[in-house]
Structure 1
């Protein structure tokens, strides 16, 4: 049985890792919402917004957040929406190897190839730079329906 911990109103596996992103222009997100990286700012920090559809990006979940540059403890509830471009967004990235949500949808990939989410818990090779940001790289070879390890970048 996997160890788990509470994130918002969901229980998540302990293999989740925390990353920090910034909110993209004209985006509003709420804790617990699935996100995708839509761009990268001049400092190399990924900009996130709500996940928009299939075949775009690897999903992450917001765990908690604070305003960029804040030096005082947060006094507002965790579930407040973030809607100002550049706001810091701390999110849990669900790591591979746990659950049933990291299978290859079809075809085959080799270690080092970029992959994207199909929006249904499966992944496909990332072949079109215009379809969305490249968010993950396969760490091992895989064939259709195989589970594989990947690294979120």
Structure 2
């Protein structure tokens, strides 16, 4: 199945440190057409991997969308237009939220390539194969 990936410079606002830059690897696999994976790296060390709804990420370029663990929203800064990803981690005591910003044009270009692989509305998940595997165990 066709895939597409891209690297993006992102940053997180950290109290007392300003905007801390790091790297994001965006990945799309047409075998899982609704999902965009993003893995964050700092100096070659993997920090976290998130799975996002592709349509939700696309909407987040233009308007606030989401609730709960993931929220996307556009924001304008002195450096240009960005999409802000608010990510909430509930796996540790006391929920933590990270606000990660990426350049809107970079994310839009990545998404454009994913829609070239699988257009909006043409997504199909093959559940028969995995379901058959599960039933035969």
Q: State the TM-score, normalized to the length of structure 2.
A: 0.30
Give the structure with the larger helix fraction: 2
Relative to total residues, which structure has the larger strand share, 1 or 2? 2
Greater RCO, CA 8 A, separation 6+: 1
